[in-house]
Each structure stands twice: as structure tokens, then as C-alpha cells.
Structure 1
Amino acid sequence: MHSRTIRRILAIFLPLTAVSVAIFYLLNTTQEEDGILHASGTVEGVEVIIASELPGRVAEVFVEEGDTVQPGDLMFRLEDEIYQAQRNLALTGLKNAQARLEAARTAVNTAEATLESAQVNTEAVQLQYEITLAAARLEELPSRVSSWKQEIPNEFSLPVWYFQKPERLAAAEVEVDAAKKALEIETKNFQDVLEDATSANIEDAERRLREAQATFLVAEDLLNRAKLQNDQELEDFAQTRFESTKEELEAAQKAYDEMLSDEAQEEILQARARLTIVQERYDTALDRFNQLRTGEYSLQVEAAKAAVKQAEAAVTLAETQVVQAEMNLIQAESAVEQAQAEIDLIDVQIRKLAVTSATSGVVRSRNIELGEVLQSGAVALTLDRIDTLTITVYIPEDRYGQITLGDHAQVTVDSYPGKMIDAYVTRIADRAEFTPRNVQTEEGRRTTVFAVALSVQDSDGKLKPGMPADVTFNN
């Protein structure tokens, strides 16, 4: 039963195939009349694929199959909600970047103003320094003149002018440092003596004695003043106060003496003497050092000089702040440019959601519907360009050598009887096409054909893709 079915199918298919082949040759192969080469074919247009560069949902379709379109005509549009939201977000970023840019510009102006103020202040401080220096030198003039007449110790063999003032200042400063260190050492030694002198609280006894002496001196001075007033009551009161402080002084002295042995008291006395001498050495060294600090080395000049350095440091800091503010400004400007570029990119994408035709043509097929999600690059519409029409015919092998590129021909169609349309050969196939598959006889070889493409010069736009056409070669 299966074999019978196959035979039935073949019985139907083979006649149909034969008819199809015959129709193909009648429509697409050449005919010869009086040596003129004729051929038949179908008008074809250049296929143009219309696709979106961006993915999205189809919002509108403006063409149908068979519609004629021109360059720039709107074909379809995709929804833009997502892109508009992205644009709003980018616009917010741009506004923020612009605000930071304005802040950066203000910071630059502020930094420049601060720098200018610091420079003006430096000039004023420098002027004040010069005034202070001039005044100090003028004040130093008498002592500088008298120093030439100063007597020097016999132990000095060099003249008074031998060492310059900076050298004497340096030597005096060394003595101050040495005296200060000696004072620190002697102070510690004195504390050690006090601690070793007795187990009792010697410091409390000394403090009591010091305070009693101070109180006694005040009471004594008060009594002397009261005697000058010729007021017995006032004098009696002052005398009573004096006697009381005297008794406290004697008690403090007795307590102090009883606390220490003769040997300990002598040791403390020597320690205090050494401490007093060392303290006086430091004070004297410091006084002599300060006496030398006159003129340009005076404290006033040093203070003015320090003010100049501080002002110059402020200028340096202000210059650094200006540089930093300018760098921040450059970064802010770059951020604005970047934010604007993002908006420009989104605007380009939004414009590309509205897909237009780049050429004139006829809509052959429409592959999209409203609401469909279209992927980027997916075929949405197919156009046939009507400004560039072609016809492909097939030339038998024995006439192949008679056709060359650029040969002219005449095209006619049934829709416009008697109208001749110019065409010229643009391509000749370099390989033969034949049916059946194996060609052994001379007759079979005559059915071997070569494809020839012609460009049709249809300036009136009469022809449409798909129209059957006859071609007559002008050879």
C-alpha cells in the first residue's frame, strides 16, 4: 500500500515539474526572431531592510504593505518612556553638575580675592617691618656710638670692636643656655638636699617662716605710718598687730631651728646660696643678651620680621588654594560636559526611536505590529527601491559571447503596451545554470544558460517590482 501511495505522488509531481520547467523557460529564456535576441524576466527592485538600531516596544506604525515612501518618511516609532526617564535623570545630574560648577567658580573668585588680600597684607607688613627696623636703628644710635668708648676689662686683650654684634649675640645666647641648664641642675640638687636634711616636712616650716616674715614687714610698715598720724588709738591698734606678727615670726623661726640640726642647716644654707648664685647667673646672662638685642636684632624688629614671614606664608597658602580651586573648576567643567554628553546621547537615542526611510521605495513586507517588542537590528519592514530597478534574464550559452557589459536593451511590459524603456547590462554571470542536472546532448547543452542583469532607466516611475517584462537587446 505504501508503494502505491508513492507511485500516485510521483504520477502527480512529475507532470507538474515538467510544466514548471516549461513555464520557466518560456518566461525567462531567450527567443530569437530575425537574429534579434529577446528575453523575458521580472522587474526587481533593490531590497532595503528597515530595522531599528535600538530595542523597544512598537508604539506606532505609519505604513502598510504596498505603500510608496520617500526619503525621510516616518515608518514606525518605538515607545520612549524609558529613555525619557533616563533623560530626566541625566538632566538632574546636569543641573547638579552645573551647581557644582558655579560653586567652583565662586571658590576660584574667593581664592583669588584671598590671594590678592594676602599680597596686599604682605606689602603692608613688609612696610611696617621697614619702619620698625628704621626706628630701632635710630634708637640704637646713641648706644652704638658710646660703645666705641666703652671700657673693657683688663683681662680682654682684643679691642672692643673686634667681634661683630651677631657674634656677641651668639656668644651671649650660648651663655644663657648654659646658665639655664646650670639652674635646672642646681634646683634639683637643692630639692635633694631638702629631702635628705630631715624626715620632717622642711618645706612647710620654710613656707611658714617666709609667710611670717612677709606679714611682719607689713605690720612694721603699718606701725610706722600710724605713729605719724598722732592718733593714739590708731597707734595702739597698729602696735597690737605688730606684736602679734612678731610673735608668729619668732615661733616660725623657732620651729624651723628645732627641725634642723646645725649640720643640716648649714647644708641647706649652702644649697640655697648655690641656687641663688646660679639663678643670678641666669638672670644676668639673660639681661646682657637682651641688652645686645637692639637695632635690627631687637624684639620689635624680630616680631615685625616674623609678621612678614607669616604674611608670606599666607600668600603661599592662598596661591595653593587658587591652584586647587582652578583644578576643581576644571573638574566641574568636565563633569558638566560629561552630563551634557549623556543628555545628547539620550536625545540621539530618542530620535532614533522614530525610524524613517533612507530612500524612496515600495513597502514589500511589514513584520511588526503595535505592542510588539522589537529587538535591535530585527527586520521590521522591507522596501523595494523604485529608483533603482533591475531585470535578470537568462541567455543561452551559444549567445553568451554576444553580450557585453554596458550593452543597451529595450524593456516592455504588458501594463504599458508600446512603451519602450531603456536598460543596459550591468552584470553577466561567470557560471552557467542548466536543467536537467546532467547535460550530455547538443540539445541539452542549448538549455544551459547564463544570468544577465540589466539596470532599467525608468525615469517616469512606470515600472513596479514584480511586473513581468520582455527585453530586446540592441545587438
Structure 2
Amino acid sequence: MNRPPRKRLIQALLFVVLLVAIALIVWQALRPDGLGDAIASGNGRMEATEIDIATKLSGRVAEILVDEGDFVAPGQLLARMDTRTLDAQLRQAQAELQRMRNALQTAHAQVAQNESTKAAAEAVVHQRQAELTAARKRYERSSTLAQRNAISRQQLDDDRATMQSGEAALAASRAQVSAAEAASVAARSQVVEAQSAIDAAEASVAKVQADLDDSQLRADRLARVQYRVAEPGEVLAAGGNVLNLIDLTDVYMTFFLPTSQAGRVALGNDVRLVLDAAPEYVIPARVSFVANTAQFTPKTVETASEREKLMFRIRARIDPQLLKEHLEQVKTGLPGMAYLKLDPQAEWPDALQVNVSS
């Protein structure tokens, strides 16, 4: 039996190796990812909501109580603005408020005094009314007696003068009642005016106090300090940033899916996140946002050929409770992969089973 020349054997072996290599390359390029049509995937980066801590009013930064990287809790004092001018304005507003309160007390006292004067004037009216009634009766008797020549003409004239004097006194006392009543009305108007002035003064105090409160810059959520934008001693305009925070309760990954897959995504769908820096951990998340319009994906996300296709932006948010349990490990900017379950009935493969406490 003749054996083939050694050279032909080597060529045959090389040909077989080449075919195997080509097949392996083709298989690597075309092999399925093992996830099937029920699970979509896309790459993205961890992101979080950023909050700028800014001053409401212009002024000088007096003190900053946190450093970059510090964790802050809701209500924690982060920085103070210089409030010496506001402190002076508050004292002035409080003094004005006290003056208005004193004016109100004076107005109430004036009302009480005018009411007493009116009551006294009304008593005098009753007295003058009684005196006038007696004087009229005396005059009527004198007039009858004078017709009989039982009294002198002088007596009749005196009784007539007494009656007329009583009428004048009654008119004068009634005028005093009217004057007292007018004074009471004026005093009550002063009470209303003083009360309005108090309301305005209280509003001024509240405004200055609100500005003082706003000068104490506090955190309103669980967060981490990312940047100190300003330093103590700097003078900032109204709205000037002092700190930049990362909201540790709102961490998510944004990725892109083609139209054919995005149309099957619903809010709340299960997502699994795997970060390049820690591929051994699978992080659970849920879809919290689906764009309502398609766009070309950013250059940093997909290849040039894939950018030619319209994609939908998807956001997968991590459970805030899970974030609180792993605050020290929460970092933004890390790249990774997002795997999204398009079919709620599908099962996650073993490689995407959650292996962090939730």
C-alpha cells in the first residue's frame, strides 16, 4: 500500500485546521447568546439623579460642613450662609411688630374710653330729659295760674326761661352723645388699622425668618456629596451652587433597544444588571421609563452600523431599599449590561439569577 507523500499529508492537515478555524470564527460570530427572544440586552452606564444645593439669596458662604464623598441624610445641615444682615432685618421686623401690637392695645383702650364717654353722655341726656319734663310741667302750671292772676308775670317768665334752658341742655347732651359715638367709630377704625398693621408686620417677620431658614442649606434626601462647588468666604449670587449631590435612592441604568424589542417593553418589567467591574453580581431592577419616540443611539453605546437604526431609550431603576442596604457600594458611571425580560412568563437563566440580597 503506497502512502501519500509527507508533503500532501501536511497540506491536508493544514486544510482541516483552516476549516475548523473558519467554522469556529463563524460560530462565534453567529452563535446565539443563549437568552432567546424572551430576553433582550443592551449596554449602558450606571447613573443617578443629581441635585444642586444652591443658595436662595445672594450672600457670602460662612461654613460648609461636608466634604466630597460624604453621605448625607434627610434634614442634615450641609452649609451655612452669612446671615448678619438678615439677623438685623429680623430684629427690625420684630420691633415693628411689637410697636404695632402696642398701637392695637392703645386703639382698644381708646375704644373703651369713647364707649364710657358715650355712656356718660347718654346718662346726661336722660337727666336733661327729666329736667326738661319737669320744667315744662312747671311752665304749664305757671301759665294757667298767670291767666288767673294767681302769680306774677315775672314768675311765668322765669318758668319759661327754665324750660327753654332745659331744651338747650338736652340738645347739648345729645350732641355730646353723637360726638362720643363718632369718636368710638374712629377708635374702632384705628383698631382695624392696627390689626392690619400687625398682620403686615407678622408677614415681614415670617419672610425674614424664611430667608434665615433658607440660609441654612440642608439635604432633603439620602445622598452623597459629589462636588464642593464653592468654598467658605466666597460671595455667591442668588441661585449660586454650593454643593452637588447624588441621590442614592434613584440609581438607574440607561440603555437602548431596537423598535422590534422596545415595543414589547412595559413599565415594571424585570431587568437584570451586570456591571463590568463586578460581573459576579447580578443586580435586580425594573423598567421605570420608556421613551415615547425613537432616536439614533449615542456613539458611545453602539457600533456605527447599529447607530443607523432607530432605537428607544430604556431606563431600569434599582429598588431604593436595596440601594440603602449597599450604600457603600453604590457608584455611578460604571459600564455594564442590562438584560430585560420581554416575556413575563419566561424564566431567567442561571447566569442571571439574582445573587445580591434584596
Residue 472, structure 1, aligned to residue 339, structure 2: yes
Aligned residues: 295
Q: Classify 1:368/1:126 alpha carbon distance in 2 versus 1 (closer, same or farther; 3 Å).
A: same
RMSD (Å), alpha carbons: 2.8
Equivalent runs, 1:25-36 vs 2, <5 Å:
33-34=33-34, 35=36
Letter in 1 for 2:92: L
Structure 1's unaligned 5+ residue stretches are 1-30, 148-287, 437-442
Instruction: Give, in angstroms, the shift of residue 131 of structure 1.
Output: 1.3
Conserved in 2, the CA contact under 8 Å of 1:94 and 1:340? yes
CA offset at residue 351 of structure 1?
1.0
- What residue in structure 1 maps to residue 266 of structure 2? 405
How many Å separate the matches in 1 of 2:137 and 2:226? 101
CA contact (8 A) 1:398 1:446 kept: no
Contact 2:142 2:155 in 1 (8 A): no
CA 1:379 to 1:403, structure 2 compared with 1: closer, same or farther past 3 Å? farther
Alpha-carbon offset, residue 76 of structure 1: 1.0
Q: Distance in 2 between matches of 1:305 and 1:417?
A: 111
Kept in 2, the 8 Å contact 1:434–1:447? The answer is yes
Is 1:64 equivalent to 2:67 in the alignment? yes
Indicate the structure (1 or 2) with the bigger Cα radius of gyration.
1
Give, in whole Å, the separation in 1 of the partners of 2:186 and 2:197.
Answer: 16
- Counterpart selection for 1:122 from 125, 150, 157: 125
Do the aligned residues in 2 keep the contact of 1:410 with 1:422 (CA within 8 Å)? yes
Cα distance in 2 for residues equivalent to 1:32 and 1:374: 58
Give the partner amino acid of 1:67. D
What is the CA-CA distance between 1:37 and the residue it aligns to? 3.8
Would the alpha carbon gap of residues 398 and 106 (structure 1) be closer, same or farther in structure 2, given more than 3 Å must change?
Answer: closer
Q: With structure 2 as the length reference, what TM-score do the two structures score?
A: 0.74
**CA spacing shift, 1:60–1:32, aligned 2, 3 Å:** farther
Flag as ranges the 4+ runs of structure 1 deviating above 4 A. 290-295, 397-403, 414-417
Match among 360, 365, 381 for residue 243 of structure 2: 381
2:312 is equivalent to residue 448 of structure 1:
no
Q: Deviations over 1:5-31 (max 9, x none)?
A: xxxxxxxxxxxxxxxxxxxxxxxxxx9
Q: 2:295 aligns to what?
A: 431
Between the aligned partners of 1:399 and 1:119, the Cα distance in structure 2 is 95
> Does 2:166 match 1:304?
yes
TM superposition shift of 1:318: 0.8
Q: In the aligned structure 2, how far is the partner of 1:40 from the partner of 1:453? A: 11
Instruction: Work out whether residues 271 and 285 of structure 2, in 8 Å CA contact, stay in contact via their aligned partners in 1.
Output: yes
CA distance in 1, matches of 2:127, 2:62: 74
Could you say which structure has the higher helix fraction?
A: 1
Tell me the SS of whatever aligns to 1:71.
Answer: coil
Question: How far, CA to CA, are the matches of 1:434 and 1:332 in structure 2?
Answer: 66
Q: Which letter does structure 2 place at the counterpart of 1:385?
A: D
Structure 2 distance, partners of 1:334, 1:70, is 41
TM-score (norm 1): 0.57
Partner of 1:43: 46
Equivalents in 1 of 2:277, 2:214: separation in Å? 39
Closer/same/farther in 2, CA of residues 134 and 434 from structure 1, 3 Å limit: closer
Q: Return the offset for 1:99.
A: 2.0
Structure 2 distance, partners of 1:123, 1:292, is 26
Q: Going by fraction, where is strand more abundant, 1 or 2?
A: 2
Residue type matched to 1:404 in 2? V
Q: Is structure 2 residue 116 aligned with structure 1 residue 113?
A: yes
SS in 1 for 2:140: helix
Structure-to-structure mapping, 1:167-178, within 5 angstroms = none
Give the drift of 1:416. 5.1
Is contact 1:45-1:385 (8 Å) kept? yes
Q: What pairs up with 1:30-429 in 2 under 5 angstroms?
A: 33-34=33-34, 35=36, 37-145=40-148, 298-395=160-257, 397=258, 400=261, 403-406=264-267, 407-413=269-275, 418-425=280-287, 426-428=289-291
For residue 469 of structure 1, give the secondary structure of its aligned residue in structure 2.
strand
CA contact (8 A) 2:86 2:208 kept: yes
Alignment CA distance shift 1:48-1:444 (3 Å)? closer
In the TM superposition, what whole-angstrom CA distance separates every residue of 1:32-84 from its partner, at most 9, and x where no partner exists?
A: 61245443321100122221222211111112222221221112111111011
Relative contact order, higher structure (CA 8 A, sep 6+): 1
> Is the alpha carbon distance of 1:383 and 1:32 closer, same or farther for their aligned partners in structure 2, counting shifts above 3 Å?
farther
SS in 1 for 2:280: coil
**1:49 counterpart SS class:** strand
Q: Secondary structure at the match of 2:295?
A: coil
1:22 aligns with none
Does the Cα contact within 8 Å between 2:40 and 2:261 map onto a contact in 1? no
2:49 alignment partner, SS class: strand
Q: Which deviates more from structure 2 when the two are superposed, residues 127-136 or residues 446-455?
A: 446-455
CA shift for structure 1 position 469: 2.7
> Relative to structure 1, is the Cα distance of residues 432 and 67 closer, same or farther in structure 2, using a 3 angstrom cutoff?
same
Q: Does the Cα contact within 8 Å between 2:114 and 2:180 map onto a contact in 1? A: yes
